[in-house]
Amino acid sequence: MFLTAEELAELTGYVRQADQRRWLTKHRWIFEVSVTGRPVVSRKFAEERLSGVSAPKPEPRLNLAVIRG
């Protein structure tokens, strides 16, 4: 149902929970934080993300050149 602590460490390359949360946020992974501070990642989301099914959408950017014309 959720990635194990070992799987999170392997995915992120970090053992410390704060570092794992920072990595997940930077790479735009969806996760919750448990009461102990551990990031909780759905196994289904991880499988979809790693298979390319659930790729992150690019951040929208404001193009002011269009309205300056």
The first and second tokens of residue 52, run together, are 């390319």
Instruction: Name the average pLDDT for the chain.
Output: 91
Across 2-11, 15-24, 43-52, least confident range: 43-52
Mean pLDDT, residues 37-66 taken together: 86
d(CA 62, CA 5): 39
Q: Return the structure tokens found at 22.
A: 């920072």
Q: Is 70 exceeded by the pLDDT of residue 12?
A: yes
- In the prediction, which pLDDT does 25 show? 97
Q: What is the arithmetic mean of pLDDT over 34-47?
A: 96
User: Predicted confidence band at 62 (pLDDT cuts at 50, 70, 90)?
Assistant: confident
